Homo-oligomer: A and B are copies of this chain.
Amino acid sequence: MTYSHTLTLKTHYPWTSSPLVSSAPMRLIAASPLAAAVSRAGGLGFLGIGTDTSTFLSLLNEAIATFQASPIPNTPGDILPVGVGFICWGANLSMALSVMQSSPLKPAAAWLFAPRETKDLVAWTEEIRKASSGKTKIWVQVGTVTMALDVAKRCKPDVLVIQGSDAGGHGLAQSSSIITLLPECADALAREQFGDIPLIATGGIVDGRGLAAALMLGASGVCLGTRFLASPEAAISEGYRNAVIQTKDGGVNTARTTVYDQLRGTVGWPETYNGRGVLNQSFRDHESGMSEEENKKLYVDATKLGDQGWGSNGRMTTYAGTGVGLIQSVMPAADIVKEVLTESRGVLARAASKL
């Protein structure tokens, strides 16, 4: 975190606190209630458009209505103070652009993730900048040093989101955690004259300790996904939320796998990706060699169980990161943002007092 990074983020998102706390653009989960609550608390919330660009207009309009009814002070008039996240291999760029062009307010940021190839990101970056007259800042999520450098060179993004292996939901099947990925990216980018791009750490950050650690590693801010699952604003069932609260020892009770994609039919991800979720009966049956057909049948049956379908003995998918074990209770998203910031300052001040 350098002063220039802090200044860049504060200039682009003037309503936000430093360091920046953002919420992940979780597909189907992060809609206007979550994104707006995070931004209103001084963070930057993201809407999860994901692969289905046909949801973009309604998600955007809902957020616009919220902020038109009650704007955040310090927001430039033509900026919507939330970002929008696209899963590039599945999302439709021209549909995204037409929504963006006709929107009265431009999203503060577009988060681009999981393209088939880096060159697709170049098109997304350039076209979104054009469609928003540069008002929508470009965030690109990467999981390796090579990709960070490649994206920096080809897209000149406004932010790089550095995702480590602890992250919940989708990410690279093979990567390090942010403990080494973040500083290695920071060093490599600085060596290649890209040190001015702010880095946002994600993957395993749940509280103020994680935020403070990310700052030590060179991040200018963080993105939390799993933690916000335990907020009332996350659009998930009680079963999912309960599973998040109940899961402990997150390193052994979650795993990276493609089995949940198979069961849910969310296929099409590039081969290098999978998703981290809480171990459940579907996972164990898969590991024991049950056929995909049989496992899927049991999964479909479980969808009829309502909230009982989740949890370690259930079959419904609980995407969550290894930090799930740190989450003890449900808390409003705004309180999460504030608690994470306050705790990080306390942790830092206590450590500094011993220097």
> B-contacting residues of A (Cβ < 8 Å)?
1, 3, 6, 18, 143-146, 164-166, 172, 174-181, 183-184, 187-188, 203-207, 209-210, 212-218, 248-252, 254-255, 321-323, 325-326, 345, 347-349, 351-352, 354-355
Contact = CB atoms under 8 A, between A and B. Distances in A.
B347 A250 contact: no
A180 B213 contact: no
Contact of A174 (B172, B214, B216, B252): B252
18 contacts: A145-B248, A145-B325, A165-B251, A166-B176, A172-B252, A178-B179, A179-B210, A179-B323, A180-B204, A184-B248, A184-B325, A209-B218, A210-B217, A212-B213, A213-B214, A215-B351, A216-B347, A348-B355
A256 to B, nearest CB: 10
A207 B180 CA distance: 10
Nearest to A173: B252
B181 A209 contact: no
B216 A348 contact: yes
Contacts of A143: 251
Contacts of A248: 145, 184, 188
A177 B206 contact: no
A174 B348 CA distance: 30
A180 B345 contact: no
Contact of A213 (B145, B216, B252, B321): B216
A174 B345 CA distance: 32
A316 B260 CA distance: 37
A190 to B, nearest CB: 13
A146 B253 CA distance: 11
A61 to B, nearest CB: 36
A178 to B, nearest CB: 6
A249 B144 CA distance: 6
Contacts of A188: 248
Closest 4 CB pairs of A and B: A176-B251, A177-B177, A352-B352, A176-B322
Contact of A251 (B180, B321, B348): B180
A177 B209 CA distance: 14
A214 B187 CA distance: 19
Contacts of A179: 164, 166, 177-179, 203-205, 210, 213, 322-323
A285 B345 CA distance: 49
